[in-house]
A = this chain, B = another copy of it.
Amino acid sequence: MEQKPIKKVLIANRGEIAVRIMRTCREMGIKTVAIFSDADRLSMHVKYADEAYNIGAAPSSESYLNMDKVLATAKKSGADAIHPGYGFLSENATFSRRCRESGITFIGPSPESIETMGDKISARKKMISAGVPVVPGTTDKVTNEAEAIRQIKEIGLPVMIKASAGGGGRGMRLVHKDSEVTHLLRAARSEAKTAFGDDAVYIEKYVDSPHHVEFQVLSDRHGNTVHLFERECSVQRRHQKVVEETPSPLLTPEVRAKMGACAVAAANACNYEGAGTIEFIMDDQLNFYFLEMNTRLQVEHPITELVVGVDLVKEQIRIAEGKALTIKQDELTQNGHAIECRIIAEDTDNNFMPNPGTITHITEPLGLGVRCDGYVYEGYTIPIHYDSLISKLIVWGPTREEAIERMSRALAEYKIVGVKTTIRFLERIMENTDFRSGKYNTHFIEKNLAFLLADNQENANEEDIALIATFAEYLFRLEDSKKTTVASTGKKETNWKRQLRKFTSRI
């Protein structure tokens, strides 16, 4: 089959993932092209790239999501490939197709694979025929009560009844007990009828205390697929992953092998090419069901890289060039343990409100076993338009316990001033007994919220020391203000000076 070496890649993304992709390109001797919106002229990915082009206004729809502009920029710059990162156009079948039609290599799967796995119904049917377990439930909608009750019996309680036409929780009922079946089924159908004018329902097995476990796969166009083991992603808040780790503290070698085989089968079922992730939902008894496939690089891919020793972006590029995988399944092993914490600009004390703003100081953690994939720098203003992920802190350790200790150490070293972040919240997760014991599911944050939001107060002296520091701050500012008189002020005046002046003018 044809091989087409990639010499210049346009990265159709921004933030940490754009920088992360460029790092690998630079190491491979591949030139990089950044695109940026009006809000991103000073973003790290613009400075990191070999070339950079403005492609429109701040809102994503006018820039990073604008296929015409992205493709035109690729042409203009002579890029022979586009890496979409995650988010934005990464799972857009049309974009993958348009790249192909323009003669530009899309570093990702074919439009057909994206379409198959992007539609939940078609993906579910594919998986069933490939022998991959899916959450037990009705394949088509159910329109009569007797049939519904029969299906519920077959699936087994607990089940979730969902309005076929539904959404937003209406027409949904969770059934735990036999005695509730008829009553709740009627309630659901009646609510569905009122809300959507249609009382057809779906019935699905309800997975109690669910775990989110996903498998990384790599497939080339020569028919080779390998899996690179699992990532445990059950630490979530509002369906957003917060902490990920590998290996999962839950899996046994037998279940791991079975899931890995399923992941490979899933990728093969849609003729997958590139790096992809099969997400599974798992109950406490380690029964697992296919949830969905992400046909792109994941945010949390670095933990796999550290434990398996493979640069996934490099593999993506090699696969897109048409090369065959050099990795063999039976040569892959999980070496040690890795954890990722997502550092997000949000105010955990104020309902996790996003907190964009200017970074006035940043100290990243360093040392043995610590990897930090970020993109903000001192003086950088995080725009309001995009994701609130500032960076990903990833650690490796020979054992899970050592990885947790290392993560605690690294989080303690991580200092960001200017915007509020999740750093302290993540420190509390590392201190939490449920997390440390490895016994947690997707309800973890909800269940432990009070603990996670609380401070770890040591003693009364500390309060006094905090008071003394504040006293000193006030004292030093006062002294400085007496020494300095600013006659007039210009644009160049530093923030510090301006604050000082505002401050002292109030004294």
Check if A3 is an interface residue, CB within 8 A of chain B: no
Given contacts A23-B409, A405-B28, contact A484 B488 (CB under 8 A): yes
Copies of this protein chain in the complex: 2
Question: How far apart sit A261 and B337, CA to CA, in the bound complex (Å)?
Answer: 31
Nearest Cβ in chain B — how far from A495, in angstroms? 11
Contact with B along A363-378 (1 / 0, CB 8 A): 1101111111110011
**Binary interface encoding of chain A residues 1-37 relative to chain B, with 1 for a CB under 8 A from any of its CBs, else 0:** 0000000000000000001100110111100000000
Contact of A409 with B27 in the complex, beta carbons under 8 Å:
yes
A190–B29 Cα gap in the complex (Å)? 59
The answer, yes or no, to whether A120 is at the interface (CB within 8 Å) is no
When C-beta atoms are compared, the residue in chain B nearest to A29 turns out to be B405
Contact in complex: A367, B363 (CB < 8 Å): no
Kindly state whether residue A129 has any CB partner on chain B within 8 Å.
Answer: no
Known: A409-B27, A487-B485, A494-B496. A367 touches B377 (CB 8 A): no
Answer whether A497 and B500 are a contact pair too, CB < 8 Å, given A23-B368, A364-B364, A485-B487: no
Given contacts A26-B412, A492-B483, A497-B494, contact A374 B366 (CB under 8 A): yes
8 Å CB contact of A490 from B27, B310, B480: B480
Interface footprint category on A: 35 or more
Contacts of A485 in B (CB 8 A): 487-488
Q: Does A254 contact B (CB under 8 A)?
A: no
Does A428 reach chain B (CB closer than 8 Å)?
A: no
In the assembled complex, 8 residue pairs joining A and B whose CB atoms fall closer than 8 Å, in A order, are: A366-B372, A367-B371, A480-B492, A483-B490, A483-B492, A484-B493, A487-B487, A497-B497
Any chain B CB within 8 A of the CB of A460? no
Q: Which 3 pairs, one residue from A and one from B, show the smallest C-beta to C-beta distance? A: A483-B490, A484-B490, A487-B487
A324 CB to nearest B CB, Å: 17
User: A311 at interface (Cβ–Cβ under 8 A)?
Assistant: yes
- Is A305 at the interface (CB under 8 A from chain B)? yes
Contact between B484 and A489, CB atoms less than 8 A apart: yes
* Residues of chain B with a CB closer than 8 A to A372's CB: 366-367
Whether A406 is near chain B, meaning CB under 8 Å from some CB there, is yes
Instruction: List the B residue with the shortest CB-CB distance to A19.
Output: B367
A84 contacts chain B at the CB level, 8 A cutoff: no
Residue A450 at the chain B interface, CB threshold 8 Å: no
User: Taking beta carbons and an 8 Å cutoff, which residues of A are in contact with B?
Assistant: 19-20, 23-24, 26-29, 302, 305, 309-311, 335-336, 363-364, 366-374, 377-378, 398, 402, 405-406, 408-409, 412, 480, 483-494, 496-497, 500
Q: Which of B311, B368, B489 contacts A305 (CB 8 A)?
A: B368
A371 touches which of B311, B368, B483, B492 (Cβ 8 Å): B368
Contact partner of A23 among B364, B367, B493, CB < 8 A? B367
Q: Which residues of B contact A487 (CB under 8 A)?
A: 485-488
Residue pair B368, A311 in contact (C-beta under 8 Å): yes
**A405 vs B314: C-alpha distance in the bound complex, in angstroms?**
13
Q: Is the CB of A370 within 8 A of B368?
A: no
Contact indicator A309/B26 (Cβ below 8 Å): no
Contacts of A494 in B (CB 8 A): 494, 496-497
* A431 CB, min distance to chain B CBs, angstroms: 12
Check A366 against B364 for contact (C-beta < 8 Å).
yes
A372 to B364, CA, bound (A): 10
Among candidates B309, B483, B496, residue contacting A398 with C-beta atoms closer than 8 Å: B309
The smallest C-beta distance from A17 to any residue of chain B, in angstroms, reads 12
Give Cα distance in the complex from A363 to B379, angstroms. 12
Rounded to whole Å, the gap between the CB of A142 and the closest CB of chain B is 49
A406 x B490 contact (CB < 8 A): no
Docked-complex contact A402 and B27, CB < 8 angstroms:
yes
Task: Kindly name the residue among A28, A367, A371 whose own CB sees the greatest number of chain B CB atoms within 10 A.
Answer: A367
Name which residue of chain B comes closest to A314, CB basis: B402
Check B367–A370 contact: CB distance below 8 A.
no
Q: Are B500 and A26 in contact (CB under 8 A)?
A: no
CB neighbours of A366 from chain B (8 A): 364, 371-374
